[in-house]
Structure 1
Amino acid sequence: MASRVNVCSVNVLDNPAKFTDPFKLEVTFEVFEPLAEDLDWELLYVGSAESEKYDQVLDSVLVGPVVEGRHKFIFEVGGPDVSKIPQDDIVGVTVLLLKCSYMEQEFINIGWFVATEYTDLELRENPPSTPILEKLERKVCIDDVRVTTFAIQWDKNQQEEIPEVDETDEVSDTARDAPSTNVDNDTDGQVTESENISPTRNLAGLLLRLISFTYILF
């Protein structure tokens, strides 16, 4: 069944920011038919490319009831709990995922790489063994977005069908004017280095994590 919700754009506000600052996302979406249930938005921070056990759900919010038309809201959530991140993974590159579900069915996830590094040149060249959090800057790489959509049942009476995965090049057709929504997908499953972030030993693992989210429903 055709999607009843189209995510038009997701703009990352206050970017770059201090590592300890909250994340702020301005989400714009349109609804083609009134929705009987709430939309469940969730923001997830990948603590380490090595294991999903370090993933942190930063927050979730229910939006509804939702009528036909265009809607916008600011999703502001606190940063990750540093005590739950392996010390070697605090500085470097990780992944931020925004997911949206309807009736407990995920129909879209949007992923960005996030680069965390010191603002001080000396600290960048000679990083301390224990990260100094107040000296770290976080930058969400908005030019390298990964978007995956899933077919779901929008009506409880709808005949059950197998979800299909659609990796799109942009959040939507209307998002072409929003630079934060451009996408460069690895549709063939090959791992490549992004030109927008600094090389890291975990980049291949992070790319594989992004690819794995594409097929998580199966």
Structure 2
Amino acid sequence: MSVVSLLGVNILNNPAKFGDKYVFEITFECLEQLEKDLEWKLTYVGSATSDQYDQELDSLLVGPIPVGVNKFVFEAEAPDTKRIPDADVLGVTVVLLTCSYDGREFIRVGYYVNNEYETEELNADPPAKPIIEKIRRNVLADKPRVTRFAIKWDSEASAPAEFPPEQPEADVQPDDEEYGAEELAEEAEEEDATATGEANGEAVAAAAGGDAEMGGVEGGEPAEEDEMSEDGSVDLENESEDDLEEEGEEEVAEGEAGGDDAMEVDDKPAGGKAPEVMAH
């Protein structure tokens, strides 16, 4: 169980210009008296291709921490654009808000950040060299990605087991009141719906495959084949003229015996549509 629980993060200046400070109002709850301070950090991901462009925008020690609900404002400078590749200044990136106790990170909140020009003309035809003064950022604050880690706090009893049971989600399951719980629940529902759809699709595919096997592709009895001559063509010459005449007489006799009943009448009007088949 975590001694400190994050209850909420409110971004006070969003959207804002690219060069403005990041201002976060953070609310958390502490269940026990802590001996050390909490360390909060804000990191800007400069490029999706390499972590060498990541920038720690600022860090802050908060303490001593009283038991109960606490709130404070965390301000961090904007990233240094000289350390960001020009091709990665615009578009979508990530900022990470983390908190550690005694050097051990126990929570991480990730936000997507969209950087774009203020005018449609510049967005349609952006210059090769970004114009920072005309770029605005928009932090997608309503969809944070919250990750929690089990750590040792002040007592040995709070340390996670060296060999915990095989329950990988046990330590990261959020309480209903913790920050990001609603978003994680929505993602879980979406994943369940996707898994159900995939399972239904596999069942349909399996049924279709079964029909193919029933059709004689595999497992069924092979269809009868005409006798083939050595050169691979159907041997029609082996049938005598008498046999052909006998078959013709039999067909004529069957037609006379059946009369009109031997003919099938289609009552459908010309050009009529076949009945629709409902998919199950």
Q: Normalising by structure 2, report the TM-score.
A: 0.60
- The one-letter amino acid of 1:35's match is L
Gapped regions of structure 1 (runs ≥ 5): 191-218
Residues 41-89 of structure 1 deviation map (CA, whole Å, 9 limit, x = unaligned): 0000000000011100001000011010111011011100110001100
Task: State the match for 1:92 in structure 2.
Answer: 91
The structure that has the greater radius of gyration is 2
Aligned-residue sequence identity (percent) comes to 47
Task: State the match for 2:276 in structure 1.
Answer: none
- Does the C-alpha gap of structure 1 residues 111 and 78 become closer, same or farther in structure 2, counting only changes over 3 Å? same
- The one-letter amino acid of 1:151's match is A
Contact 1:145 1:182 in 2 (8 A): no
Are 1:125 and 2:138 an aligned pair? Answer: no
| Greater strand proportion | 1
Are 1:61 and 2:64 an aligned pair? Answer: no
Contact 1:145 1:181 in 2 (8 A): no
Gapped regions of structure 2 (runs ≥ 5): 192-280
Higher relative contact order, structure no. (Cα contacts within 8 Å, ≥ 6 residues apart) = 1
- The one-letter amino acid of 1:72's match is K
Contact 2:26 2:72 in 1 (8 A): yes
User: Aligned runs of 1:3-14 on 2, under 5 Å?
Assistant: 3-14=2-13
In 2, Cα distance between the equivalents of 1:175 and 1:101?
Answer: 17
Are 1:141 and 2:140 an aligned pair? Answer: yes
- Does the C-alpha gap of structure 1 residues 143 and 182 become closer, same or farther in structure 2, counting only changes over 3 Å? farther
Secondary structure at the counterpart of residue 36 of structure 1: coil
Q: Give 1:13 deviation, angstroms.
A: 1.1
In 2, Cα distance between the equivalents of 1:48 and 1:113?
Answer: 13
Secondary structure at the counterpart of residue 143 of structure 1: coil
Secondary structure at the counterpart of residue 126 of structure 2: coil
Are 1:77 and 2:76 an aligned pair? Answer: yes
| Greater helix proportion | 2
In 1, Cα distance between the equivalents of 2:176 and 2:23?
Answer: 23
User: Aligned runs of 1:171-210 on 2, under 5 Å?
Assistant: 173-174=176-177, 183-184=183-184
Which stretch of the first structure deviates more once superposed, 157-166 or 73-82?
A: 157-166
Contact 1:11 1:25 in 2 (8 A): yes
Q: Normalising by structure 1, report the TM-score.
A: 0.77
In 1, Cα distance between the equivalents of 2:94 and 2:153?
Answer: 29
Q: Give 1:101 deviation, angstroms.
A: 0.4
In 2, Cα distance between the equivalents of 1:91 and 1:129?
Answer: 11
In 2, Cα distance between the equivalents of 1:182 and 1:79?
Answer: 29
